[in-house]
Amino acid sequence: NAGVTQTPKFQVLKTGQSMTLQCAQDMNHNSMYWYRQDPGMGLRLIYYSASEGTTDKGEVPNGYNVSRLNKREFSLRLESAAPSQTSVYFCASRTGQRVSYTFGSGTRLTVV
Amino acid sequence: DQQVKQNSPSLSVQEGRISILNCDYTNSMFDYFLWYKKYPAEGPTFLISISSIKDKNEDGRFTVFLNKSAKHLSLHIVPSQPGDSAVYFCAASAYGNKLVFGAGTILRVKS
């Protein structure tokens, strides 16, 4: 089982560049999430999708957009990257029956 | 406003001793609590959980205690092993909604 797959694992961007972080899950989960992890801040929710066709803002959505392409895939886009978006990004998913999430291995993004 | 707080950024424990990681929450609507473990360069993995209708849940070396009146939960690891060295995140949910995470505690188990 692959679980939750994130690509790329590492990325360096220049300020103002755009990029899309990809996430796919093969567990037939309904809900998907994007978090960022920063030192001393824990995991903060950026956007989530409770089910295919829906997306909602989380705690820190500014500067990001998302697309729930289908039930498997949930992408996160940075339209104009800023140094404040340097972070480790995690995608997660869960079924409707369990509260627990399954996380991907993360994307380490540096914006210079 | 941090709804889930882990006030100890780090903890160092000798191998074989007990590790106690603490977590406080402010939202009285939270009814399900989880602990996640995270190794460097990996995603968080689920460790143990507890429903608000219980005050204790045990799984092998790991036990979570919940004190609802104090809005406090703790994770006990006995005995601690070097492989337990990781970042531990406390998380909470209200009525099955999205998880809210604490800032994490770095646990170092010395051999």
Closest to A101 measured CA to CA, from A53, A36, A29, A20: A29
A chain contacts of residue B100, beta-carbon cutoff 8 Å: 45
Chain CA centroid to CA B90, Å: 4
Question: Is the backbone of residue A30 left (phi > 0), alpha (psi -120 to 50) or beta?
Answer: alpha
User: Could you tell me how many CB contacts below 8 A there are between chain A and chain B?
Assistant: 51
Percentage of chain B lying above the pLDDT 70 cut: 99
Q: How confident is the model at residue A41 (pLDDT cuts 50, 70, 90)?
A: confident
Q: How confident is the model at residue A1 (pLDDT cuts 50, 70, 90)?
A: low
pLDDT of A44 strictly over 80: yes
Confidence at B62, pLDDT banded by 50, 70, 90: very high
* Partners of B86 in beta bridges: B107
Chain A residue with CA closest to B31: the answer is A99
pLDDT in tens, B82-111: 999 999 999 999 988 889 999 999 999 999
Secondary structure letter of residue A73 according to DSSP: B
Decide if B41 touches A, using CB distance below 8 A.
yes
pLDDT of residue A81: 97
Q: Please, which pLDDT band fits residue A107 given cuts at 50, 70 and 90? A: very high
For residue range A60-106, list pLDDT tens digits in order. 999 999 999 899 999 999 999 999 999 999 999 998 777 789 999 99
pLDDT digits (tens, 9 = 90+) for B18-40: 999 999 999 999 999 999 999 99
Asked if residue B89 lies in contact with residue A41, where contact means CB atoms within 8 angstroms, the answer is no
d(CA B32, CA B51): 5
Whether the pLDDT of residue A109 is over 80: the answer is: yes
CA atoms within 13 A on the CB side of B16: 1
Task: Work out whether strand B10-14 and strand B105-110 pair parallel, antiparallel, or are unpaired.
Answer: parallel
A66 touches chain B (CB under 8 A): no
Q: What is the distance between the alpha carbons of residues B50 and A5, in angstroms, rounded to a whole number?
A: 28
List the single residue in B32, B43, B93 with the smallest CB-CB distance to A90: B43
Q: What is the reported pLDDT for B27?
A: 95
